Structure 1
Amino acid sequence: MRRLLNLFLAIAALLIAAHSAIPVRAQGSAYNTNFITSITYQNVGTAMANITFTFYPTSGSPISFNRTLAANAGASLNVGQASELSGFSGQGSAVISSDQPIVATIVQIPQSTSVRNRPLSNGFGSNDGSNNVLIATVLKNTFNQTTKFSIQNADSTSVNATLRFFPVGSATPIYTETFSLNVGTARFFDAGTIPQLGSSFNGSAIIQASGKVVATAIEATTDSSYKVSAFEGVAQGSNTIYMPSALCNFGTTVQRTAYAVQNTSTSNSATVTVTYKDLNNSTVATQTATIPAGAKQSFLTCSASGIPSNFNGSATITSTGAPIVAIGKVFSGSPSFAALGTAFVGASAGASKLAAPYVRWTQTRFDINPGNRQRAFIAIQNVGTGPSGTITVKYYGLDGTLIGTHTLSSINPGQKTNSNPKAATLAAGQTQDKLDEFGYIGGFGGSATIECANSGCQIVAVVRIASANSATNPADIVAEDYNGIPIN
């Protein structure tokens, strides 16, 4: 899970397109859709933050400019609307520096009337870069999906990197490419345009570099389902991975989860067990498999023997032998909701306090016309060894003012609970409309912090941002997930 961004933030930003370079139009698939990036950032420090944004185009000189942000505040920078970036278009990356600790989530806004989902991925702290980064799932024309990803230099000098693609079940790479990166810049890869992967590919990727790098991926459908999601590369594996969201045929939209688990070792196999727990913290099912070195394995929640229908719970993935990384995915089991698809990184550890830079809620305009407003749902899992103690979720407005607080009862190890802005109790001096339309009143921006009370408590969280996909069917939604970011 991403750590606190203390004075420096590196962002592997995919598919940045500025201003009117790309017209809004219907396109043949999510894979062919263009995006404009919006950076949603939150000051988790105690004073006004003085922030510098530096953007690196794929060619040409970097562009830098400054912003300020009050303590506890969350704001957004739309790359397509910032006057300082009027000459910036195409693909690129960015680095943010600040005199206060900040966190950020990258929002990709589709330039299409068909794709309604906004892929989300977190930024990286100055300590998050690594010489070895893993992308747990890479697809090419598989499950009607193809992966695009970027690799960014997060070091202070140029780096040389080697990228290897591993098919499912294989410890031998099918394709290897070497390249170099200048400071702050990124290299972009589209699995759909790499002939060495064949006509289709299902596997994973490993990046090894002479210095620190980070990576971010977008996975998009190649058919008319218009489904798209994003997730980060992971620098280090673990023998325990936590998934706050585990679903089987849940709700009207028939939501299901799948976990793409990658063996981080290039020489040793990993024996993996997925344990599912319901909201009462009872174990309801398990799955096991052995994953060869460097390879990946998918676990479908609904395929676990004994899993109940309409299941809503959490999962813990453990490995004997080699460490693992994992990506969680949520999708619908019904063709009526084919556009529903999310992705998030499984957490290897928790923290007592988390930040959620991008939180929105609309009570009255959750539709495709006229508002395109969104709703945030926060799934919180206790990954510590004892009860969490009271969990407090604080919702902050654009200027850092506390709008409301949601107080949740203690949960046991492995158990999960949920929050959203509408469930919060209004703060003194605030008006109900600021919770009913959280993040939309008085300007565009809202964020949250999530904290557990017991000494030594450890929690993780996944934030789901949902949008309407139909003007007539309120159950027809699209959504995307991102991880809560540890503050301490």
Structure 2
Amino acid sequence: MFQSLRRKSVYVVLSVIASLLFASIAVAQDAPTSTDDLPGSGWWTGIQLQNVGSAQANVTINSYQSTAGVTPIGKSVTIAKDASATLLPQDLNLSSGFQGSAVVSSDQPLNAIVNVTNRQAAGNGIAGGLAAAQYQGVNAPATELRFPLVKRNHFGKTTTFSIQNAGSTAATATAVFKVAAGDFSFTTPLIEPGRMVIINPAAAGVPEGNGVSVGSLTVTSSQPLAGVVSEHGSEQPAVLLQSTRAFAPADGNAKAYAPIIKNEFFNRFTGLQVQNVSAGSIDVSVEYKGGGGSCAGQTFTNTKTGLAAGASHTFVHLVGQAGNTMPTGCLASATVTATGGNVVAIVNEAFIAGFLSGGGNGGRQEATTYSAFAASAATTTVKAPLYKENSFNKGTGLQIQNVGPATATNVVITFVGSGGTFVTNPQTIASGGALTIVEMFKKAAQFNGTPIPGDISGGAGVFGVTVTSDQPIVAIANESTYPFGNSPVQQDKNNYEAFNK
């Protein structure tokens, strides 16, 4: 949590770390069936910290095992101004089987991204593990957290929630699941300050199965909380993971922005899950602005009326779904507007079923989740701490949405890494529309001066990115194996929300 103190803190849920050498140490089980927790073993976490302050950052990381009474494990590092540091389990002095959370304290403001995976790398992971996800570290804990999407074995997918006590005294947390089958509640044991617990739908008695288990979750406590949702299957070793942070009350707004919406675009589709965080019923409308593919320059709408307090609704972007008029092959951005209250929202992305059943991508699913942005979060500067150009068979696409009232004509993207600093010419984005930044090492003409080298690779292809604009913007960073669609590496896709400043 970034506090109004000399040292600032950010809270990080380190969801289940188990090293390759101890692959028999599985995820801790809080429910009677293995389908309700992250499947298998080999899970590990890396933290990317970006110093966005005015001087060198002196940083302390305290990692808390979820078991009560265990002394936290400390680690101190320094990070130069405008630089980033990547910390793996071994850097944090964490041993096999660790499962818990962390508090990162600094005398300079930081951005934090957490990577959770079971892939084999740097002595971690498990053979056959392909799952990967990213989420933001939490800098504003709250006594109420909202999660727009809950599943329990819904078409094989389940959500698991990691809840951290970011307060000063031990406290319980109460979880209320609102799903199609009804309302279900669960109260945790006491959670010590800094520590985390796992909550899943089974603990509250939510029935499993298609349709009946889909809904939303609200978690409350007398102490401020940080939280993360992980969506997964039951396969072992795991090949899929999706994750994003919880929403606090300050994240609720009558408008929310989703920079990436896909309607069967290169065989990918999205679901937009909108939760009513108000005390009464609301109406929701979604405006989609086509930015690429078959719908560039076009506008589409969809609506949901009478969304009950605390409940959620899914807008599915597949041809033939209720209210969806976008054509096949459409890449768009979305603006969600609530009448009568506030909302929060997330976006899930995956391959369409027909593509996989026909042998596409080897029949292997890859999925991501990101949080939509409240209108109040938009600014004219956005930072993405981790961006890759042809780096160890990984590439990043940065989707920038103009959420201002007018066309943005001075959008400048600056890439800073060990390979140098590179600045683009001003770009233009229509109001409500989006711009995709990807494979910039192939686009020399878009740079003001020296471009990113066409032969860039390896560590030189890792950058921190800053985007400035003459209109308020938000952005999502999507990471995938590279070359796109033809990579020798297999891995789940992952993404994170860029940081507004």
- Aligned AA for 2:334? A
Contact between 1:10 and 1:95, CA under 8 Å: does it hold in 2?
yes
In the TM superposition, residue 315 of structure 1 has moved relative to its aligned partner by 0.8
SS of the aligned residue for 1:194 comes to helix
Q: Distance in 1 between matches of 2:485 and 2:317?
A: 31
**AA in 2 matched with 1:124:** V
Of 418, 429, 436, which residue of structure 2 is paired with 1:411? 429
Matches of 1:319 and 1:159, distance apart in 2: 34
| Residue identity (%) | 23
Which protein has greater RCO, CA pairs closer than 8 Å, 6+ apart?
1
Q: Give the structure 2 partner of residue 366 of structure 1.
A: none
Question: Counterparts of 1:477 and 1:4 in 2: how far apart (Å)?
Answer: 40
Q: Could you tell me which amino acid in structure 2 is paired with residue 465 of structure 1? A: E
Superposed displacement of residue 62, structure 1? 0.7
Tell me, in whole angstroms, the C-alpha distance in 2 between the residues paired with 1:207 and 1:102. Answer: 26
Q: 1:123 aligns with which of 137, 141, 146?
A: 137
Distance, in Å, in 1 between the alignment partners of 2:475 and 2:76 is 31
Q: Is the 8 A contact 1:24 1:113 kept in 2?
A: no
Comparing 420-429 with 303-312, greater Cα deviation is found at: 420-429
SS in structure 2 at match of 1:358: strand
The 3 A distance-change label for structure 1 pair 124 and 45 is same
Q: What amino acid is aligned across from residue 204 of structure 1 in structure 2?
A: S
Q: Distance in 2 between matches of 1:51 and 1:19?
A: 28
Q: CA deviation at 1:466?
A: 0.5
Contact 1:243/1:316, CA 8 A, preserved across alignment: yes
Letter in 2 for 1:140: R
Q: 1: distance between equivalents of 2:481 and 2:20?
A: 23
1:346 and 1:471 map into 2 onto residues whose CA distance is 26
Question: For residue 35 of structure 1, what is the amino acid of its counterpart?
Answer: W
* Shift, 1:473, TM fit: 6.9
Q: Aligned partners of 1:140, 1:469: CA distance in 2, in Å?
A: 35
The equivalent residue for 1:90 is 98
Instruction: Select which of 246, 250, 257 maps to 2:270.
Output: 257
Matches within 5 A, 1:221-260: 221-222=233-234, 226-236=239-249, 237-251=252-266, 254-260=267-273
> Can you give the 5+ residue segments of structure 1 that lack an aligned partner in the other structure?
364-370
| TM-superposed deviation, 1:119 | 0.6
Q: What secondary structure sits across from 1:355 in the alignment?
A: strand
- Distance in 2 separating the partners of 1:473 and 1:74: 27
Aligned alpha-carbon RMSD (Å): 3.2
Q: How does 1:82-481 map to 2 (within 5 A)?
A: 82=91, 85-87=93-95, 89-110=97-118, 111-125=125-139, 128-168=140-180, 173-191=183-201, 193-194=202-203, 196-200=205-209, 201-222=213-234, 226-236=239-249, 237-251=252-266, 254-265=267-278, 267-279=279-291, 281-302=297-318, 303=321, 304-333=323-352, 334-335=355-356, 336-337=360-361, 338-349=364-375, 350-362=378-390, 371=392, 373-397=393-417, 402-420=420-438, 421-422=440-441, 423=443, 432=453, 436-437=456-457, 440-441=459-460, 446-452=463-469, 454=470, 457-467=471-481, 478-481=492-495
**2:205 alignment partner, SS class:** helix
Find the counterpart in structure 1 of residue 121 from structure 2: none
Q: Check 1:160–1:249 CA distance in 2 against 1; reply closer, same or farther (3 A cut).
A: same
**TM-score, length basis structure 2:** 0.83
Deviation at 1:408, TM superposition (A): 4.4
The answer to whether residue 76 in structure 2 is matched with residue 66 in structure 1 is yes
TM-superposed CA distance for 1:470, in Å, is 10
Aligned equivalents of 1:85, 1:124: Cα separation in 2: 22
Provide the C-alpha distance between the structure 1 equivalents of 2:448 and 2:324, rounded to a whole number of angstroms.
46
TM-score of the two chains, using structure 1 as the length reference? 0.85
1:73-123, Cα deviation, whole Å (9 max, x unpaired): 1221001x22x5144633110011111111011001213444424210000
Superposed CA offset, 1:36-80 (max 9, x none): 00001111122211111111111310111211111111221001x
The change in CA–CA distance for 1:4 and 1:460 in structure 2 (over 3 A counts) is: farther
Q: Secondary structure at the match of 2:11?
A: strand
- Cα distance between partner residues in 1 of 2:3 and 2:63: 22
- How many residues align? The count is 458
> What letter corresponds to residue 242 of structure 1 in structure 2?
Y
Residue identity in the other structure for 1:181:
I
Kindly state the Cα deviation for residue 281 of structure 1 after the two structures are TM-superposed.
Answer: 4.7
CA contact (8 A) 2:414 2:423 kept: yes
Report if aligned partners of 2:390, 2:482 keep a CA contact under 8 Å in 1.
Answer: no
- Aligned equivalent of 1:31, options 39, 54, 65: 39
The one-letter amino acid paired with 1:57 is Q
Q: CA separation in 2, counterparts of 1:24 and 1:61?
A: 21
Partner secondary structure for residue 173 of structure 1: strand
Q: Report the Cα distance in structure 2 between the residues aligned to 1:411 and 1:471, rounded to whole angstroms.
A: 27
Q: Determine the structure 1 residue equivalent to 2:18.
A: 17
Alignment CA distance shift 1:309-1:196 (3 Å): same
Q: CA deviation at 1:468?
A: 5.7
Distance in 1, Cα, partners of 2:242 & 2:456: 27
**SS of residue in 1 equivalent to 2:10:** strand
CA distance in 1, matches of 2:488, 2:17: 31
Rounded to whole Å, the distance in 2 between the matches of 1:408 and 1:35 is: 42
Query: What's the CA shift for 1:331?
Result: 0.9
Decide whether aligned partners of structure 1 residues 222 and 18 sit closer, same or farther in structure 2, where only a CA change above 3 A counts.
Answer: closer
Q: 1:47 and 2:55 equivalent?
A: yes
SS in 1 for 2:327: coil
Cα displacement string for residues 345-381 of structure 1 (whole angstroms, at most 9, x for unaligned residues): 0101311111212222217xxxxxxx5x311100000
Q: Partners in 2 of 1:32 and 1:321 — Cα distance?
A: 44
